[in-house]
Amino acid sequence: MSVLERLLIRLRQVPAAAGVVIWAVDQVEHGSGRIWRTSQDPWLAANATAAELTIRSPDSPLAAGPDGDSLAAWSAHQPVGPRFGPHDYPPRRDYGRYLHQVFEQLRAAAPAGVRVRPVLGVATDLSRAGGGLVLTLDHGRRQLRVNRAVLATGHSDLEPTAGQRALAAHCDRHPGLRYLRPSIAADMPLDELPAGETVAVRGLGLTFYDVVACLTTGRGGRFQREADGRLRYLASGREPRLAAGSRSGLPFLARPELTGPPQLTPHPVVLTESLVDRLRERAAGQRGSGQLDFSAEIEPVIQTELDHAYYGCAVQLRRGRRAGEQFRSDFRAAVGRWGTVDRARVAQLAAGHGVPDLAEPRIAALARPFSGQTFARPSAFRDRLTCLLRADVAAARAGTAASPLKAAMETLRSLRPALPGIVDFGGLLPQSQRDFLNRFAPMSFLLSAGPPAAQVERLVALLEAGIVEVPGPSARFSPGDRPGSFVVCSPAVPGSRRLARTLVEARAPGGDLPKDTSPLLRNLRRTGLISEYVTTDPVTGERYRTGGLAVTGAPYRVIDAAGRPAEDLYAIGVLTQNTRWFTQVGTGRPGQGSPLCRDADAIALALLGPTAADDTWNLAG
């Protein structure tokens, strides 16, 4: 959608644009696509507010409504359908309706001589022939000859890991067992799970919240506010019981309620581009290459950012705005050349400004609060977990101005757009990139990319009602020793073992090109038109296979198996994740340029390219 929009904007600026055909191929639905498809259930909600969501760039060719071009503004002018307030988290299908409508409006507003032609089908192959590209659809039923192509295939499915294969094989051996592979909840056959049965769920992230919504609200359950303010779950009797776990045993925490307008641009206090340049220079001097060690060189700087937000908020709460500003100013003065403040100095500053008694906001401790602990029995763990989640809901509702912890976590979230400059295209040492992807990124998502507070509060009610149970930290999922079961248990909680006949992998598959099952991507790999991005330490020769699709820097030309950038093939979005970072956020912010918009524009310009006025530009159909 973004590439289409930017292309139409750029085509207005090219005088010789007549005769251009843009084929928009999607196998699900145009505009909305798979993630936002309009037929999904209403309890699957977007993770951004209606005021934040938009697909349009600031210079969109479509006229903005009187109150802007967010989903909230759009919904206010629809003759039918729900209206959303700025702070509502809308159902995904409603954002999908908006996206579909924008798609149709963009089509209609295409400049003279330019046609946008939607094609509903699966692209299964792409090859070079006769100086152009041939796109094969539906395994050969149709073909399109084109001059250039953009891969924007988003999330796809992956081959199972050895562990997943073992679980699936166990399932095959025992009729009656079900194993649901990683996917998005809207595509899982959750309706088939019987009421009352125990279902094991692996993963406590956003897909877990979706699965929970489908199996509770989606089964007719309701939530009711009690006189004491607590939320209570009123079961319909049609729910299964969920035994859900993860490494940490902690579900994704709530997003704080925003106090200001939604922002996409990071405003780092310390983690600036110039600091990153200095760190790279130091690394080059010390190690011979500018690749950074994320945990040793960047995480301490992120900690500085968190401390600044956290103690600044705490001082302000206790002693007023002026005192908060004074703390922040003193803190910034204490930041050293490499973006850090000595721990003892942080403690001294905090004490000096009247907050001597606060626990430090350490990412690892917050994301793994049960690490190394044991619990006497399942109820002891449940009480601890519900207590923690209840406090989290209260902090999220208080917002970033009244909760130091949420101020710090929102800072962590807002730094995400700054990370590509550090991580992309081998910006980290190979082993450090692995560590970033496997350790830091999951913790940062858990703490700062969670659902709205209302969903966490509902989870607390479900834990209290016994509909959802979390066995404890380091949950293990295995084939049952008794036939006809999967086992879920936590080694830290005696008595937590549960048997289930269904195991759900509550995780959207990440990007991993060699394991991707998409026929299109498989064919492109087989013929060498695309390749996996491998990051290499130029000094030691150490390599790390990232799983991302190899592309150049902007305009993101696809790199073939021989290492050559393509002139006619580009890629954007999830497919390039791990080569780049932060490629998943597919929405902008009203009136603001977003990274997505910028990337899409670079591709649009390259698509027009120096041959834009050439006859060969006319796309054959």
Location of structure tokens 């776990």: 245
Rounded distance between C-alpha atoms, residue 5 and residue 124, angstroms: 24
Helix (H), strand (E) at residue 367: helix 363-367
Rounded distance between C-alpha atoms, residue 302 and residue 136, angstroms: 46
Q: Are strands 123-129 and 132-137 parallel, antiparallel or unpaired?
A: antiparallel
Could you tell me the two tokens for 524? 């492109």
Smallest distance from the beta carbon of 522 to ligand FAD, in angstroms?
10
Smallest distance from the beta carbon of 92 to ligand FAD, in angstroms?
7
Q: Is the dihedral of CA 575, 581, 585, 587 positive or negative?
A: negative
Q: Is-contact 132 143, C-beta < 8 A?
A: no
DSSP 88: -
**First-residue to last-residue Cα distance in the chain:** 21
Smallest distance from the beta carbon of 29 to ligand FAD, in angstroms?
7
Smallest distance from the beta carbon of 178 to ligand FAD, in angstroms?
21
Per CB under 6 A, residues contacting ligand FAD are: 25-28, 33-35, 46-48, 122-123, 152-155, 184, 508, 518, 520, 573-574, 584-587
Residue 34 or residue 170: which is nearer to ligand FAD going by CB? Answer: 34
Beta bridge partners of 502: 178, 199
Backbone phi, psi, residue 164, to 5°: -70, -35
Rounded distance between C-alpha atoms, residue 34 and residue 518, angstroms: 14
Smallest distance from the beta carbon of 32 to ligand FAD, in angstroms?
7
Listed residue (281, 358, 276, 267) closest to 312, CA to CA:
358
Backbone phi, psi, residue 6, to 5°: -65, -35
Smallest distance from the beta carbon of 588 to ligand FAD, in angstroms?
9
Smallest distance from the beta carbon of 572 to ligand FAD, in angstroms?
7
Residue 385 or residue 415: which is nearer to ligand FAD going by CB? Answer: 415
Residue 123 or residue 619: which is nearer to ligand FAD going by CB? Answer: 123
Smallest distance from the beta carbon of 127 to ligand FAD, in angstroms?
14
Residue 25 or residue 276: which is nearer to ligand FAD going by CB? Answer: 25
Residue 5 or residue 26: which is nearer to ligand FAD going by CB? Answer: 26
* Residue 326: strand, helix, or coil: helix
Residue 26 or residue 537: which is nearer to ligand FAD going by CB? Answer: 26
Please state the length of the chain. 621
Question: Rg of the Cα trace of the chain?
Answer: 25
Nearest residue to the partner ligand FAD, using Cβ = 154
Residue 123 or residue 199: which is nearer to ligand FAD going by CB? Answer: 123
Smallest distance from the beta carbon of 527 to ligand FAD, in angstroms?
15
Q: Are strands 149-151 and 565-571 parallel, antiparallel or unpaired?
A: parallel
Helix axes 343-352, 299-319, angle to 10 degrees: 10
Residue 468 or residue 571: which is nearer to ligand FAD going by CB? Answer: 571
User: How many helices and strands in the chain, by DSSP H and E?
Assistant: 18, 20
Residue 430 or residue 573: which is nearer to ligand FAD going by CB? Answer: 573
